[in-house]
Amino acid sequence: MPYESELARSLQPYVAGEQPKNRRFIKLNTNENPYLPSPRVAEALAGKAESLRLYPDMEATALREAIAQTVGLTPEQVFCGNGSDEVLAFAFAAFFAGKALTAPDITYSFYPVYAQLFGVDYHTVPLKEDFTVDVDGLLRGAPVVLANPNAPTGIRLPLAEIRRLAAHCREQGEILLVDEAYAAFSPENAAGLLAETDNLLIVRTFSKSHALAGMRVGYALGHPRLIDAMRRVRDSFNSYPLDRLAQAAAEAAILDTEYTARRTAQIIDARDRTRQALTEAGIEVLPSATNFLLVRGDETDAAPVQRALREEGILVRHFASERLRPWLRVTIGTAEEMETVTRALIRIIKG
* The three-state (H, E, C) secondary structure of 59-80, written as one string: CCHHHHHHHHHHHCCCHHHEEE
Residue 224: its H or E element: helix 224-235
Portion of the chain with pLDDT greater than 70, in percent: 99
| Dihedral angle over CA of 283, 284, 286, 291, nearest 10 | -20
Task: Report CA torsion sign: 44, 46, 50, 53.
Answer: positive
The pLDDT of residue 22 is above 80: no
Q: What does the pLDDT read at residue 36?
A: 97
Contact 296, 326 (CB under 8 A): yes
Length of the chain: 351
**Once rounded to an integer, what is the mean pLDDT over residues 274-284?**
98
Amino acid in position 47: G
Q: In which region does residue 2 sit, left (phi positive, over 0), alpha (psi from -120 to 50) or beta (all else)?
A: beta
Question: For residues 279 and 5, what is the distance between their CA atoms, to the nearest angstrom?
Answer: 50
Question: For residues 127 and 135, what is the distance between their CA atoms, to the nearest angstrom?
Answer: 9
Q: What are phi and psi of 256, to 5 degrees?
A: -85, 70
By DSSP bridging, strand 327-331 and strand 317-318 are antiparallel
Q: What does the pLDDT read at residue 18?
A: 74
The pLDDT of residue 21 is above 80: no
Q: What does the pLDDT read at residue 20?
A: 77
The pLDDT of residue 336 is above 90: yes
Strand partners, 202: 178, 221
**Once rounded to an integer, what is the mean pLDDT over residues 3-24?**
80
The pLDDT of residue 101 is above 80: yes
Alpha carbon distance, N-terminus to C-terminus of the chain: 54
Question: For residues 229 and 210, what is the distance between their CA atoms, to the nearest angstrom?
Answer: 27
pLDDT per position as a tens digit, 168-193: 999 999 999 999 999 999 999 999 99
**Once rounded to an integer, what is the mean pLDDT over residues 94-116?**
96
The pLDDT of residue 306 is above 80: yes
Choose among 285, 153, 290: nearest CA to 209. 290
**Once rounded to an integer, what is the mean pLDDT over residues 224-235?**
97
The pLDDT of residue 1 is above 70: no
pTM for this predicted structure:
0.95
Choose among 273, 275, 342: nearest CA to 309. 342
pLDDT per position as a tens digit, 30-48: 999 999 999 999 999 998 8
pLDDT per position as a tens digit, 251-272: 999 999 999 999 999 999 999 9
Burial of 132 (0-12, 13-18, 19+ CB in 10 A): middle
The pLDDT of residue 3 is above 90: no
Convert 103-115 into a string of H (helix), E (strand) and C (coil): EECCCCCCHHHHH
Residue 331 in 3-state DSSP?
strand
Cis-peptide into 126, omega within 30 deg: no
Q: What does the pLDDT read at residue 5?
A: 86
Q: What does the pLDDT read at residue 175?
A: 98
Portion of the chain with pLDDT greater than 90, in percent: 90
Query: Long-range contacts of range 310-314, CB-CB < 8 Å, 24 or more positions apart?
Result: 310/25, 312/344, 313/23, 313/24, 313/25, 313/26, 314/25, 314/26, 314/28, 314/340, 314/341, 314/344
CA-derived radius of gyration, the chain: 20
Q: What does the pLDDT read at residue 305?
A: 97
The pLDDT of residue 16 is above 80: no
Q: Where are the domains of the chain?
A: 6-36+258-350, 39-256
Strand partners, 135: none
Q: Domain 39-256, what fold? A: Aspartate Aminotransferase; domain 2 (3.40.640)
Q: What does the pLDDT read at residue 296?
A: 97
Residue 204: its H or E element: strand 200-205
Q: Domain 6-36+258-350, what fold? A: Aspartate Aminotransferase, domain 1 (3.90.1150)
Indicate the average pLDDT of the chain. Answer: 95
Contact 107, 154 (CB under 8 A): no
Local confidence band at 324 (pLDDT 50, 70, 90 cut-offs): very high
Q: What does the pLDDT read at residue 47?
A: 86
| Full strand arrangement of the beta sheet holding 327-331 | 292-296, 327-331, 317-318
Q: What does the pLDDT read at residue 8?
A: 85
